[in-house]
Structure 1
Amino acid sequence: MEGNYGEDEEFGFARNYFIAKELGGSGKKSSRKLSDIELVDEQELRAAARSIESKHEKEIGSLLNSYKSLYPKWVFELRCGFGLLMYGFGSKKALIEDFASTALTECAVLVINGYLQSINIKQAVTAIAEALWDQLKTRRTPSGDFPKVQQPFNSRSMDDLLAFMDGSHSEKNDCFVCVVIHNIDGPGLRDSDTQQYLARVAACSHIRMVASIDHVNAPLLWDKKMVHTQFNWCWYHVPTFVPYKAEGIFYPLILAHGGTAQSAKTAAIVLQSLTPNAQSVFKVLAEHQLAHPDEEGKDACQQFVQYLSRALSGE
């Protein structure tokens, strides 16, 4: 009897599910469109977002304090040559910076904000090399010979900079520069060439790296060699539930008015998702439309073609 009752109950659930789907599908559909949404000024929307009161500050503060017990372990792993990779929901910017300012006082720390839209990797690597040079100069012995830099770091090639950071300049193994990268998967760092350079920097003997990721596909940026040999990550799940205020300030708001620059950027994103053949077709279309502006066509279409032309020309 119990078995039959369970089967009847399961059949009842299934029957009610399909009845609800049928009734829901036969209902009248909404006539509202996305175009009906009233857009507001971006500055006004950002000001409203900043005025939102933070919730659960006490609980978040307690959670961040609980991670401080891991600081000695993190320092030990850095000294052993590992890199630290933080992941989990919430901004990890304040957590990592607190760790660097309180537990890494004996070494130089250089911060790279990967959430910025554009980052010059050559300038970043040059700054790391200069920080290492300053660190080595402060730790030299009065009687010891210390090599002089014959060529400025900003005029050296990437290979020369990496060779300098990987050289045996000091007898002390604890002389290193810690590179903190907020959002190593950010838009300014996620291209293949930049990730390769960052991996080579992390593999240098005098460099240690602490980074954070937030994108779900961030691990796809690296191959097996980069993860286990160059970055040598120790993964830490450290959810903070802190709002992404600093990281999200440079991203466009969906409900805000978009200007010409934002529309051109959107068109560029669309073009990047197309195949090379499709991109060439759009380029021909844009060139034809710009060469014959008097031909019939809607204004919106002409504007889109102009955006595509700008994106294809790199403007």
Structure 2
Amino acid sequence: MMRQQLLSDYTCIVVNGFFPSLTLKSVSLLIFKFFLGQENFSGKRLANWLVGWFASNPDVFILLNNIDGTCLRNEKIQNTFSLLCTIKGIHIIATIDHINAPLLWDHNKMSQLNWVWFDCTTFETYSMETSYENSILVQQSGVLVLSSLTHVMKSLTPNARGIFILISKYQLEAKSEHGYQGIAFPDLYLKCREAFLVNSEPTLRTQLVEFKDHKLIKTKKGLDGVECIVIAVEDNTLATFVEQQDQQ
């Protein structure tokens, strides 16, 4: 409503922070794709585009619903938002839901964001936000599963984390194939040997038992009778998890 009434003459980018699968990469691609018209870009090309854009276009407004959303409460994403605010011509209009949301920003971020605060309480229900949350719970994905995965990873050894991430990346790349049943144990062992994560099959099997105990994986026999390993997590959540692990 505000966008239609007050910002109809300006360029607006809308980011819904309550989406459970939202990541820094997806937010960055949304903004960069808007400016460059494509997802393949370089920092220099983006900078040149920004200079040219603001030389001949009106200011750009980023409308950020729920900047304190669960998936946005990390240092890198909030740093990105604060840095965007330092670019002349880019403005962020954001909403918060949690009373302690300002704790996300230290003194430096607050000075960059330079918020002007308004109490715009609507007393409307959270029907849209909770509709995404409920669907995620039913599908065993989203914030809760992501939080559980992250917590379990902290209790594993570096090699164990490497094995699980290897399985995750393989599944994300291969699951688009028709009839994907999981990564076959012999293939997994070969990949783990090449990555220096295990030195014998018993070592790998011991690690898979630990994954099973944590309910991270499921195993089943493939059509050819070979044991296959699959991670029973929705693809978007698994992709978000892998991205977060790569950033650490």
Contact 1:182 1:211 in 2 (8 A): yes
Contact 1:166 1:205 in 2 (8 A): no
Query: Quick one: structure 1 residues 168 and 180, their matched pair in 2 at CA, closer, same or farther if it must change by over 3 Å?
Result: closer
Q: Give 1:78's aligned residue.
A: none
Question: Which runs of 5 or more structure 1 residues have no equivalent in the other structure?
Answer: 1-97, 131-151, 294-300
Q: Give 2:206's aligned residue.
A: 288
The separation in 2 between residues aligned to 1:253 and 1:168, in whole angstroms, is 39
* Shift of residue 158, structure 1, vs aligned partner: 4.4
State the structure with bigger RCO (CA 8 A, min sep 6), 1 or 2. 1
* Shift of residue 122, structure 1, vs aligned partner: 2.5
* Shift of residue 242, structure 1, vs aligned partner: 0.4
Query: Quick one: structure 1 residues 162 and 184, their matched pair in 2 at CA, closer, same or farther if it must change by over 3 Å?
Result: farther
* Larger CA Rg, structure 1 vs 2: 1
1:304 aligns with 2:215: yes
Contact 2:14 2:62 in 1 (8 A): yes
- The correspondence for 1:251, drawn from 133, 148, 161, is 133
Query: Quick one: structure 1 residues 217 and 289, their matched pair in 2 at CA, closer, same or farther if it must change by over 3 Å?
Result: same
Q: Give 1:219's aligned residue.
A: 102
> Which amino acid is 2:111 matched to?
H
The separation in 1 between residues aligned to 2:34 and 2:85, in whole angstroms, is 11
Q: Give 2:65's aligned residue.
A: 182
* Residues 103-118 of structure 1 aligned to structure 2 (within 5 Å): 103-118=6-21
| CA-based RMSD | 4.1
Query: Quick one: structure 1 residues 250 and 279, their matched pair in 2 at CA, closer, same or farther if it must change by over 3 Å?
Result: farther
- The correspondence for 1:279, drawn from 132, 156, 159, is 156
The separation in 1 between residues aligned to 2:204 and 2:133, in whole angstroms, is 27
Contact 2:20 2:143 in 1 (8 A): no
Normalised to the residue count of structure 2, the TM-score between the two structures is 0.56
The separation in 2 between residues aligned to 1:125 and 1:191, in whole angstroms, is 19
Q: Give 1:25's aligned residue.
A: none
Q: Give 2:74's aligned residue.
A: 191
Q: Give 2:147's aligned residue.
A: 269
Query: Quick one: structure 1 residues 125 and 265, their matched pair in 2 at CA, closer, same or farther if it must change by over 3 Å?
Result: closer
* Shift of residue 129, structure 1, vs aligned partner: 2.1
Deviations along 1:73-97, one digit per CA (max 9) or x if unpaired, are: xxxxxxxxxxxxxxxxxxxxxxxxx
The separation in 1 between residues aligned to 2:131 and 2:71, in whole angstroms, is 14
What number of residue pairs does the alignment pair up?
181
Q: Report the 3-state secondary structure (helix = DSSP H, G, I; strand = E; otherwise coil) of the residue aligned with 1:109.
A: strand
* Shift of residue 194, structure 1, vs aligned partner: 2.1
* Shift of residue 214, structure 1, vs aligned partner: 1.1
Normalised to the residue count of structure 1, the TM-score between the two structures is 0.46
Query: Quick one: structure 1 residues 287 and 157, their matched pair in 2 at CA, closer, same or farther if it must change by over 3 Å?
Result: farther
> Which amino acid is 2:114 matched to?
N
Q: Report the 3-state secondary structure (helix = DSSP H, G, I; strand = E; otherwise coil) of the residue aligned with 2:39.
A: helix
The separation in 2 between residues aligned to 1:249 and 1:205, in whole angstroms, is 36
1:157 aligns with 2:42: yes
1:235 aligns with 2:113: no
